[in-house]
Amino acid sequence: MTAVALQGDLWMGDAPLMRNLSLDMPAGRWSCLLGPSGVGKSTIARLIAGLPGPQQLRGSLEAGDGLPLAGRVALMAQGGQLLPWADLVRNVTIGARLRGTRPDVGRAHELLAQVGLAGMERRRPSELSGGQGQRVALARVLIEDAQVVVLDEPFSALDTATRLAMQDLAARLLKGRTVILITHDPLEALRLADRAWILAREGAETLSLPDTPSPRDFRAPDVLAAQAALLARLQGDAACAG
Amino acid sequence: MRRLNAAPLRAALALGVALVLWQAVVWLTGVPRFILPGPARVGVALWDNAALLLEHARFTVANLLTGLAAGVVLGVATALNLALSPIARLMLRPMLIFAQAVPVFALAPILTLWLGYGAASKIVIVMLVIYFPVTSAFFDGLMRLPASLADLAQMMRAKPLHRLILLQVPHALPALVSGLRLAVVYAPFAVIIGEWVGSSRGLGYLMLMANGRGQTDLMFASLLVLASMSLLCFAALERLVQSGPQKKVKRQRLPFSDRSSYGRF
């Protein structure tokens, strides 16, 4: 596992998007980037994942071990990016098949069982609920065995109860990996993060988290208090912004 | 299930109404039968000339299907090649756009001159006519991989060929089916034009011959055989599409609703 450090200004073509970023995301922990829609959260996800786009970093993006990040990052995005024409096993093993290596079908079955989809291996994504689709995407991230996992609003399209269940599942299965969670949901950040920032144009502000280890119980008083404080703070920001 | 049962019923009803109208026009206007024979007369011609019609239809169908298969194979191969190789795109695309500007039907006399009055010229005309819509539709589909899947391929470090086979081709199948629908509509046109330009066999030839002899009822009979041939082709394609593994292909009743994909490179 490796840490990821992002320093500098993020530009979108010719316009600055976020300035003075200084994000030290520790190895084997959950780092959470919290921000409102449109602040450029997904741009950071694409940047770390090495995907093309108009974004441009004037600064540095480095892995803790000094090696390049390329090829060591897995991304799980909101839509899940499942192949509608392929069954679940083929969806989970698409990475190996795209690289032209032999897919590990046994491991795919194992992971599908771990995410709670045993017996559904032959189904198509259209036969699944939103939460089940994200479980498949999670299994696909796990089979890639990447050192750094970027989760770009992975659960934001799910209903609240499903979202809480998926957060617990992801926390359990991604334990020990360097996870970068990008979200607009304060509770999600407070539950899962070991380190968290609130993103804004002027830079990222470190968010203080409850002392308990993650994933935190959403009923715990300190989590609820932190959530209330954070919501008040975000509401203030939103009122100022527009 | 109700819709399945209703469809043939509706078709039969429409056919019945059309036949009644046809007969009514013949009766009411009193046109001579060498201008417009009534449905009964055409039916008799169909029955009396069944062997003749069958023999010529066999020639036409064989050329139609061979040309269709060759054009589809060639079109699919071209589209795959274009999608895979930027150099091929650079070289072939302008040529294809230019070739598309030539009305392929107008080539029929030249092809007949080169390839003779036999089957070869008809097969090549059909092939050329359907080659462009198939290539164009499939290539379009191949190049329109959604951004999320393109990202996926990049994250997974996909090899170009594997990206093509595993992501682009499955995603482009509905587009290919649109192209095939156009092909199935154009192919009968093409084969008849080929026969009109120069042939000693086939339904097109039979129509010209019947016309020359004033056998209008035989002309109409040939036309009916031809129309049912086209319908059978279309129905066979629909069958194929629905039995295929790709069940999410969008359904379209009219082959003409997808004209937009014709002629875009």
Same domain, B9 and B109: no
- The residue of B154, B156, B247, B250 whose CB has the most chain A CBs within 10 angstroms, and thus the best one to mutate to test that interface, is B156
How does residue A81 score in pLDDT terms, banded at 50, 70 and 90? confident
DSSP 8-state code for residue A29: S
Residue B261's pLDDT is 39
Same domain, B140 and B20: no
Q: Give the residues across from A180 on adjacent strands.
A: A31, A150
pLDDT tens digits for range B166-209: 999 999 999 999 999 999 999 998 999 999 998 889 999 999 99
Residue with the bigger pLDDT between A122 and B258: it is A122
The C-alpha of A99 sits at a distance from chain B's nearest C-alpha, in angstroms, of: 5
CATH superfamily of A1-72+147-162+171-242: P-loop containing nucleotide triphosphate hydrolases (3.40.50.300)
Same domain, B183 and B252: yes
Same domain, B13 and B67: no
Q: Who contacts A66 (Cβ-Cβ below 8 Å, separation ≥6)?
A: none
Chains A–B, number of C-beta pairs less than 8 Å apart: 57
- Cross-chain residue pair A99–B149, CB shorter than 8 Å: no
Same domain, B21 and B147: no
Same domain, B149 and B166: yes
In the predicted structure, residue A79 carries a pLDDT above the cut 80: no
What gap in Å lies between CA A44 and CA A152, rounded to an integer?
9
User: Which residue of chain B is at minimal alpha-carbon distance from A143?
Assistant: B156
Tokens of B148: 């999320």
Work out the percent of chain B whose per-residue pLDDT is above 90. 51
Average pLDDT score over residue span B217-223: 92
* CA distances for B218 relative to B36, B129, B198, B206, angstroms: 11, 28, 20, 8
- Cross-chain residue pair B158–A98, CB shorter than 8 Å: yes
Q: How many domains does chain B have?
A: 2
Same domain, B200 and B243: yes
How does residue B264 score in pLDDT terms, banded at 50, 70 and 90? very low
Find chain A residues with C-beta within 8 A of B148's C-beta.
Answer: 77, 79, 81
pLDDT tens digits for range A20-38: 888 889 988 999 999 887 7
**Domain CATH code at residue B70:** 1.10.3720.10
What number of residues does chain B have?
A: 265
Same domain, B115 and B216: yes
Domain of B241 in residue numbering reads as 38-261
The C-alpha of B83 sits at a distance from chain A's nearest C-alpha, in angstroms, of: 16
| DSSP secondary structure string for all residues of A185-235 | -HHHHHHH-SEEEEEETTEEEEEP--SSPSSPPTTSHHHHHHHHHHHHHHH
